[in-house]
Amino acid sequence: MRSELAVLLLLAVSGAAGLITSNVAITATMFVGGFTTWLFLTLPDYLKAVKAAPQAELKQQAGQQEADGKKAAAAGSLPAPESVLALISKRRSIFPKDYTGQKVSHDQIRMLIEAANWAPTHGQTEPWRFVVLEGASKKEMEELTMELCRTRLPVEKAEKTLEKLQKKRDSTWGKVSCYIAICCKRQAKPDKLMPEWEEMAATSAAVQNMWLMSTSLGLAAYWTSWQQVAREAPEMKTLLGLAPEDRVLGFFTLGRAERERVEGYRGARGPAADKVTWKD
């Protein structure tokens, strides 16, 4: 840029000299040279600078937001980004076979539901619904599952399925403190009918919130899709107090596990960079 300014200054001086000496040829030559220099040297740089300005401003804003986030975290109003990422990366699916059988308190379950309630929701419909099954209702759901598998599946498949379920009932189901039925209202608000996939996505996001809270509380949790023939059977929806059009996305099993058991669950993910494409 400095060299261009020097050239323009030289041309301006030469042009002024041409005017003083009344030399039209010199003046015209200086004018054309100055315009050409501006057109091919100065103007492109100027346009590049104008185009880059918004990106630079966005980078500056992002940097300021990051700095503000760190200040807020330091002030205690927000968790530090590193802490959030650490919590997310420590989430595990802990299978009921590793539960101790100890109960999870209602206060802790309420914290899970409160966390779930802050999931994103298109149209503010909040379609997630949860049914906490413990005690007699937990056993009723288990018995209903066995009965539906017995009566709705082909005979050969029913026998194999019931054999597996019986082993689980004898060994692991009793270790589960409670099941939280993961339900999605098809139309949560009478004046809004959102696409079903959006409502199911919102409910799934609510489950993730619940799962992260369970991790922070040191609880053992697992999202099971359950037996397909039983999960969305009319009898199951009746038990859960749902309408026929509502969906059941599975059950969130909740319990407690020894720390050594939990630490034995190793998490692994491929590089995040392999799953993103950046485009300007």
CA distance 104 to 219: 8
pLDDT of residue 4: 52
Strand, helix or coil for residue 217: coil
pLDDT at 110: 98
Question: How big is the CA angle at 255 (ends 141 and 206), to the nearest 5 degrees?
Answer: 80
Q: Token digits for 186?
A: 């098809």
CA-to-CA distance for 105 and 15, rounded, in angstroms?
89
Dihedral, CA atoms, 71, 75, 78, 84, nearest 10 degrees?
Answer: 80
Residue 181: strand, helix, or coil: strand
**Does this model's pTM top 0.85?**
no
Residue 74's pLDDT is what?
60
Roughly what angle, to the nearest 10 degrees, separates helices 196-216 and 106-116? 140
Instruction: Show pLDDT as tens, one digit a residue, over the chain (280 residues).
Output: 545 555 555 555 555 555 565 555 555 555 555 555 555 666 666 566 656 655 666 566 656 666 665 665 566 689 999 999 999 999 999 999 999 999 999 999 999 999 999 999 999 999 999 999 999 999 999 999 999 999 999 999 999 999 999 999 999 999 999 999 999 999 999 999 999 999 999 999 999 999 999 999 999 999 999 999 999 999 999 999 999 999 999 999 999 999 999 999 999 999 999 999 999 9
Given this model, what pLDDT does residue 232 score?
A: 96
For residue 105, what are its two tokens? Answer: 């308190």
- pLDDT at 77 (0 to 100): 84
CB-count burial class (<10 Å; 0-12, 13-18, 19+) for 3: exposed
- pLDDT by residue (tens digit) across 17-28? 555 655 555 555
How does DSSP assign 81-146, residue by residue? Answer: HHHHHHHHHH-----GGG---PPPPHHHHHHHHHHHTTS--GGG---EEEEEE-THHHHHHHHHHH
**The predicted structure's pLDDT at residue 86:** 96
Spatial strand order of the sheet with 247-255 comes to 128-133, 178-184, 247-255, 220-224
Place of tokens 């939280």: 180
Instruction: Give 203: exposed, middle or buried? Use CB within 10 Å, 0-12, 13-18, 19+.
Output: buried
Q: Which residues lie closer than 8 Å to 95 by C-beta, 6 or more apart?
A: 172, 222
**pLDDT tens readout for residues 223-274:** 999 999 999 999 999 999 999 999 999 999 999 999 999 999 999 999 999 9
- The beta strands (E) that lie in the chain are given as 128-133, 178-184, 220-224, 247-255
Average pLDDT, the chain: 86
Burial class (CB in 10 A: 0-12, 13-18, 19+), 41: middle
